[in-house]
Homo-oligomer: A and B are copies of this chain.
Amino acid sequence: MPDAIVVGAGYAGLCAARRLRTAGLDVVVLEAGDRVGGRTCTARLSGGWAVDLGGQWIAPAHTRFTELARSYDAATFTGHAQGDHLLLSTTSRRRFTGELPPLPPHATAVLALALWKLDRLASRTLTTTQAQHLDSITVATWLRCRLPVPQARRLAEAVLGAELSVDVASVSMLALITAIRSADGVGGGVAAETTAALFTHGADGPAQSIAAELGDAVRLNTPVTSIQDTGNAVRVADVQAARVIVTIPPPLAGRIHYDPPMPAARDQLTQRMPMGAALKAFAVYDTPFWRAQGLSGQALDLDGPMTFDASRPGGPGLLCTLATGPAARRLTRLDAPERRATIIRSLIRAYGPRAARPLDWREKNWADDPYCRGGYNAYFPPGVLTSVGSALRTPVGRIHWAGSETATQWAGYIEGAIRSGERAADEVLRTEAKFTEPAVPS
């Protein structure tokens, strides 16, 4: 009988298993899909070039992820950022440089003030009354009050919507504040993205390396549909162990059948944490041709998806289209050829006729993934954090919870997934004396 079972072989699950094994425990990782990496997922183009269909960024502030990447010699490179960015809407196309898209001075001032207020909210300890108020309004409501200039508001809605992978109308303001706090403030999140690097061979590289180390302990194609806690042990699929760490997204953890049933607060929490919507599509060209036009490949479309340059050094030109929330939903209602044609029309509008004929095409709609059913993360609608939020990390009997959503720092990032897995592993190690005592030499 293994000591612990880990459900899910994303970064949270693999890092939990790694830490448990390092502490001398016998671990089994059960993964529903036919691959490891969870919400990172690397496709290969002809020539072996990597394309990250899921999470991809690593920033200097992501200290655990950086250490992990180093221990497995995962090569990274800094994304191409030279050249002008584009600000698009259905009726306009404007080039700009720097971090802030071109807005009239008044709108820029209002935006800066709102960002400052956000940062201040995120850095203060909130009173219960303040937290309850912020949890009773949507981000859309807060922006409408604090950003009375429509141009500035539309920009903030687009950027925050992309950050949260869901319409600002759906998310609790308290959840946004919590997310900003967990990412070192408004500046921290932005800094993480502007200074972020990508993995030359794909962001799931370190995950593959951990899985290789764990060897047979990782069982693919093993969906977990029920977990039984007998009081003395847990039984998951046909495996029995002392403890289990569930690392899959909360709404999917809620679909597992638990015996005995989950306490009301935990069950109602998983009912209240839906996944955002995210679609990533990559158009592959022989070269990053937009660079010769003085363009960075970064475009923000106020009425649609964003694009950025995902080309590997020396590799083909790669334009990534990232659609979230309503934009993702509009695109996924189309069939595949129509969707591709629609995205390419946007790319032509941004980067000219050379965008018309990509050599290759890769896409992933995360809401279609049977073991994610959305992306990037589960979000908190209003009223959830202050009512049942405390059930997010609280173990239930022999069941522990991990996954990026449960992280206290960098929740929603790969960094958060790693930290959550390690935290849950530490929880398990503290539960039984035999887990911390040195093994008797045989």
A171 — which chain B residues lie within 8 A by C-beta? 383
Q: With A167-B383, A382-B381 given, is the CB distance from A271 to B251 under 8 Å?
A: yes
A300 — which chain B residues lie within 8 A by C-beta? none
A387 CB-CB contact with B under 8 Å: yes
A277 — which chain B residues lie within 8 A by C-beta? 264, 268
A132 CB-CB contact with B under 8 Å: yes
**Are A367 and B275 closer than 8 Å at their CB atoms?**
no
**Are B138 and A367 closer than 8 Å at their CB atoms?**
no
Q: With A132-B169, A136-B138, A137-B141 given, is the CB distance from A267 to B373 under 8 Å?
A: yes
**Are A373 and B225 closer than 8 Å at their CB atoms?**
no
Least CB separation from A329: chain B residue: B387
Least CB separation from A132: chain B residue: B169
Stretch at the interface among A14-22, A253-261, A339-347, A355-363: A253-261
Cβ distance A113 to chain B, nearest Cβ, rounded Å: 21
**Are A381 and B170 closer than 8 Å at their CB atoms?**
yes
Cβ distance A54 to chain B, nearest Cβ, rounded Å: 16
Q: How far is the CA of A274 from the CA of B380 in the complex (A)?
A: 12
Q: With A255-B255, A326-B387 given, is the CB distance from A382 to B272 under 8 Å?
A: no
* Of A132, A264, A368, most B-chain CB atoms within 10 Å: A264
Copies of this polypeptide in the complex: 2
**Are B136 and A384 closer than 8 Å at their CB atoms?**
no
Q: How far is the CA of A223 from the CA of B388 in the complex (A)?
A: 27
Least CB separation from A142: chain B residue: B141
**Are B254 and A382 closer than 8 Å at their CB atoms?**
no
**Are A271 and B274 closer than 8 Å at their CB atoms?**
yes
Q: Pick the contact of A166 from B254, B370, B383 — CB < 8 Å?
A: B383
A141 — which chain B residues lie within 8 A by C-beta? 136-138, 141
Q: List 18 A-B contacts (CB under 8 A).
A: A136-B141, A136-B168, A137-B137, A137-B140, A138-B383, A169-B382, A170-B381, A225-B257, A255-B257, A264-B367, A264-B368, A264-B374, A267-B373, A268-B367, A268-B373, A271-B373, A329-B387, A381-B383
A interface list, Cβ under 8 A from B: 132, 135-138, 140-141, 166-171, 225, 251, 254-255, 257, 261, 264-265, 267-268, 271-272, 274-275, 277, 325-326, 329, 332-333, 365, 367-368, 370, 373-374, 381-384, 386-388
Closest 7 CB pairs of A and B: A170-B383, A136-B169, A264-B367, A381-B381, A271-B274, A169-B383, A136-B140
Given contact pairs A170-B383, A271-B275, A381-B383, a sample of 18 additional A-B residue pairs in the complex whose CB atoms are under 8 Å apart: A132-B169, A135-B169, A136-B141, A136-B169, A137-B137, A166-B383, A167-B387, A169-B383, A170-B382, A170-B387, A225-B225, A254-B255, A264-B365, A264-B367, A265-B329, A271-B374, A329-B387, A381-B381
